A and B are shown apart, each in its own frame.
Chain A
Amino acid sequence: MAEVSIRKLNKMFDVTHVVKDVDLEIRDKEFVVLVGPSGCGKTTTLRMVAGLEAITSGQILIDDSVVNEVPPMDRDIAMVFQNYALYPHMSVAGNMAFGLKMRKFAKPEIETRIKRAAAILGIENLLERKPRQLSGGQRQRVALGRAIVRDPKVFLFDEPLSNLDAKLRVQMRVELKKLHERLGTTAIYVTHDQVEAMTLGDRVVVMKDGWVQQVGEPLELYNTPANRFVAGFIGSPAMNFIEATLGESNGAVVAEAPGLRLSLPGPLAARARAKAGRAITLGIRPEDVHVATDSDPVDLCFDVIVEVVEQLGSEILLDTRVGPATVVASVEPTMRIRSNERLRMSLKPERLHLFDAETEAAI
């Protein structure tokens, strides 16, 4: 059980600055996910917590003691790697026992712990096998087992599911979640998959180019993204962005773009008023756009041409064109819509996001 504090953490590889001033407080028993595109510094941050990468500046504390200079073996952490990193010359039981042997546990204790971990993961019948005789999912379980027998202070996961096929990945995701609820060990999890981040994390840290973009609970990131990058990264299908300018007419704040003129609702208008006359980016998620009905106010409606209709079964995705911009809308699966059809669409005004066109920060 442990807390991890990361303070003003920086990492330089020669002249490349890959992790920039990362600050993060991870609470006891918390499951924190670092997510971002490749090269955003998430794995490097994790490796610094593990002690596998030297820290250029800043501090990492585990349970209030600075571990900057502590070698990995003495940090009492366990890590699961993307390629599992099972020791190929040892059996499954040998793999799980290795960490305990290195820490000089007594033999009976090692056996009990292996049995318990194997039972949790359902791999009791594989204990005598060698890693090459296991399937991808089984290797994944053994790698998890090797981490949990140690009963460490912190679990570190480096994209542990990305070598599995799609179906197995979903299944293991659920199991990981259950496992964390059962063991309650503090965990830091790195992934580039925002779905994994949203489903697993108690809190999610979005990173880009070495900077932390936003830290928050999954729904917080989804509903109130701090900037355009987070808004576009979290959520699938991704948020629509339309370049627009802000103006005022009859006391209302309106966002104007070719083929589009929306008056902003109360709270958003209040925040946006200061930026009147400036270029902004409108953001709206596909599920917040719908085909207009009579009850929709006229100043929230706009005309589109449907370009592509994607039937997903549970919903229909419409790729539509509004002036030069593309807007994706998710509509009811019962609707019958054909491509090239002209439609009048509307949106939920309270779900509209505005971003400064220059700084990309949310308004």
Chain B
Amino acid sequence: MIEGALWRRWVFYNIPLILFVFVLLFPFYWMIITTFRPDGELYRPWNAVNYMPFWTNDPTLEHILYLFEETNFMRWMFNTMFIALVSTVISLFCGVLAGYALARLNFPYAGGLGTAIFVTYLVPQTLLFIPLAEIIRNFQLGDTPWSLILTYPTFLIPFCTWLMMGYFKAIPKELEECARIDGASRWKAMVYIVIPVAVPGILSSGIIAFTLSWNEFIYALVFLSSPDQKTVPVGVTSELIRGDVFFWGPLMAGALLGSIPVAIVYSFFVEHYVSGLTGSVKG
């Protein structure tokens, strides 16, 4: 909290905060209002007498109904969920084990290997999709969910590994040493002591990995082609923008419904998530 005169608090604290929250939340507000706005209002010119951009007096469900009845939206939701869940589970499994090994096993070149893994995360997807497309074609995985389930870990595993490595390093080494003196092998000490203590960290990286794969666009766009295989981000943009016609209502309805599962996941784990990001382990 900023001390001192009232004007100081407003200038340095309240006003910046309000601006920040406004910038952050306005797109969501716009998305919601567009979802429920009838077409007549949506395409009304800005200089019309009854132009009313920030509110609507006759909300409608027609865009949502359109989404469910005229497109494969439910199918896209299912695809996205399936792909995001499976690739998150694979990445978490590898990331937890790799992070533990890099943080604790003290093998030669562990530090260099950790950096190398992080560097692979820095390779832009916009470059990587070209060789990956070749591989996907060779394995004949194109246009199946597996093309994404197997390629998402290329950026999710380095991410999870790096995050978990940091988290494991923050857990006092003595916990594990004590367990090993207590009669646990290295493996048992990891399973019974280190991993339960690292649950907040695992949840955090899991949530971020899930969000990253839920929102992923370029691989999904390149590797999937038939409408019923698509994920929400690709499905919505490819099926609801036809030529230069934007179906704003259904587009926004799709974006809104597509963001709901992520919002649920976040709010469900938020307590663990925050303590995971700040890396607090209470002794």
Contact = CB atoms under 8 A, between A and B. Distances in A.
Contacts of A79: 177-178, 181
Interface string B41-74: 0000000000000000000000000000000000
Interface stretch (B121-129, B190-198, B219-227, B235-243): B190-198
Interface string B160-201: 000000000000101101111111110010001100110100
A77 B181 contact: yes
Given A83-B172, A85-B174, A73 B281 contact: no
A248 to B, nearest CB: 58
A79 B175 CA distance: 11
A48 to B, nearest CB: 13
A87 B281 contact: no
A39 B193 CA distance: 29
B181 A102 contact: no
Q: Which of A77, A84, A89, A103 has the most CB of B within 10 A?
A: A89
A83 B283 CA distance: 8
Contacts of A73: 180-185
Contact of B182 (A51, A82, A146): A146
A81 B174 contact: yes
A87 B197 CA distance: 8
Contacts of A41: none
Nearest to A78: B181
Interface string A58-94: 0000000000000111010111011111111100000
A301 B212 CA distance: 84
A72 B184 CA distance: 9
A77 B172 CA distance: 20
Given A72-B177, A83-B172, A99 B282 contact: no
A89 B174 CA distance: 15
A99 B182 contact: yes
A52 B283 contact: no
A178 interface: no
Interface of A: 50-52, 71-73, 75, 77-79, 81-89, 98-99, 102-103, 131-132, 139, 146, 150
Given A78-B181, A88-B175, A103-B183, 5 more contacts: A75-B181, A81-B174, A87-B179, A98-B182, A132-B282
